[in-house]
Amino acid sequence: MPLLHISMRAGKPDDYRQAILDSLYRAMREALNVPEGDAFMAITEHEAANFRCGNAYGVTRSEDAVLIQITVFASRTPEQKKALYRRIAELLGENPGIRPEDVFVNVLDAPKENWSVGHGIAQFA
């Protein structure tokens, strides 16, 4: 049950943004065994004055940087997360062509009782 928030600079065409969503969904299916149809993602675009990515940690980022925050059940192993990071960078590199240096990923673990996916009930608690 991943929930993704993707932040990026405004101005990319629809097919570029769709490729990001498709690549992220594929990476989650492959690395985290996310079920088919489990796609809860939103892209937020920011004007240049409202979006900043530094070059800390030995990574030189460009204006095409994307910030990806993924909230998941607190059940993923470190190995699964590492595989996810790698696969996201690979797939975004293939389509829409984002450099690995411009892929910033943060995974947040949330207990299952913190989720309600509809009907006002905690389906996984």
Residues 6 or more apart whose CB falls under 8 angstroms from that of 88 comprise 23, 24, 27, 68, 103, 105
Angle at 7 between CA 123 and CA 122, to 5 degrees: 10
Active-site residue among 2, 35, 78, 100?
A: 2
Question: Tokens standing for 29?
Answer: 């299916």
2 catalytically annotated: yes
Q: Beta strand 66-73 with 3-9: parallel, antiparallel or unpaired?
A: antiparallel
Q: Which residues are catalytic?
A: 2
